[in-house]
Amino acid sequence: MAEEPKETKPGFQNPVAGFGVTFKAMFKKRLTEQYPEQKKTTAPRFHGRHQLNRHPDGLEKCVGCELCAWACPADAIYVEGADNTDEERYSPGERYGRVYQINYARCILCGLCIEACPTRALTMTNEFELADSSRANLIYTKEQLLAGLEEGMVDSPHSIFPGTDEQDYYRGLVTEAAPGTVRQVAVSKGEKPEDQDQGVDA
């Protein structure tokens, strides 16, 4: 049996109905975000770009143990540890992270690395603007990841606070650099003594 034809609106009503939809949409709340002019505030615990933290006197918290690299499911972290010396000290203990890289072409920002870090050297910031047109630029180096200097800090390498040891740093007994602390020459990074005289960073 032939199907009954459906009742349709007269031809002139269809465009009017279309305008009705448009008209109603004009008064709805806009969902479009005006990025990048207006940046959205992230949640407090948002997983963004990583940061390598410092002790309150400026020495580095990273001990070069590589646990973050082993925990990473995306193989995005590369670490090379090295020994501190009295002449060139980057962290309070025996070892420090000489080379530290995170490849943001691989990283999925899962946060497993910061869970694995035994010294809270590695945390994540709220910074999410990581896009780049070059793969090489997506490999962040230690210099890019290291936290900036705050008041009371002296840039590493420098000597440990006199009369303290590594444990005292983790107990929070060192709150700022000792008076007279000066930055040492970063010989292992190819810095020459005369560079430091001119204030050139490693």
Binding annotation for [4Fe-4S] cluster: 62, 65, 68, 72, 107, 110, 113, 117
| Region of 33-41, 60-68, 130-138, 173-181 interacting with ligand SF4 (CB under 6 A) | 60-68
> Would you count residue 59 as binding ligand SF4 (CB under 6 A)?
no
CB neighbour list of residue 154: distance below 8 Å, 6 or more residues apart: 57, 58, 177, 181, 182, 183
- In the complex, what is the shortest distance from the CB of residue 95 to ligand SF4, in angstroms, rounded to a whole number? 9
> Would you count residue 64 as binding ligand SF4 (CB under 6 A)?
yes
> Would you count residue 121 as binding ligand SF4 (CB under 6 A)?
yes
| Region of 22-30, 69-77, 142-150, 168-176 interacting with ligand SF4 (CB under 6 A) | 69-77
Helices (H), the chain: 13-25, 67-71, 112-116, 142-145, 166-170, 193-197
> Would you count residue 109 as binding ligand SF4 (CB under 6 A)?
yes
Burial class, 36, CB count within 10 angstroms (exposed 0-12 / middle 13-18 / buried 19+) = exposed
Q: Rounded to an integer, what distance in angstroms lies between the CA atom of residue 145 and that of residue 107?
A: 14
- In the complex, what is the shortest distance from the CB of residue 40 to ligand SF4, in angstroms, rounded to a whole number? 21
Burial class, 16, CB count within 10 angstroms (exposed 0-12 / middle 13-18 / buried 19+) = exposed
> Would you count residue 62 as binding ligand SF4 (CB under 6 A)?
yes
Among the listed residues 49, 55, 68, 174, the single contact to ligand SF4 using CB under 6 A: 68
| 3-class DSSP assignment, residue 14 | helix
- In the complex, what is the shortest distance from the CB of residue 66 to ligand SF4, in angstroms, rounded to a whole number? 5
CB neighbour list of residue 121: distance below 8 Å, 6 or more residues apart: 52, 53, 60, 61, 62, 63, 97
Q: Which parts of this chain interact with ligand SF4 (CB under 6 A)?
A: 62-68, 71-72, 74, 76-77, 79, 97, 102, 107-113, 116-117, 119, 121-122
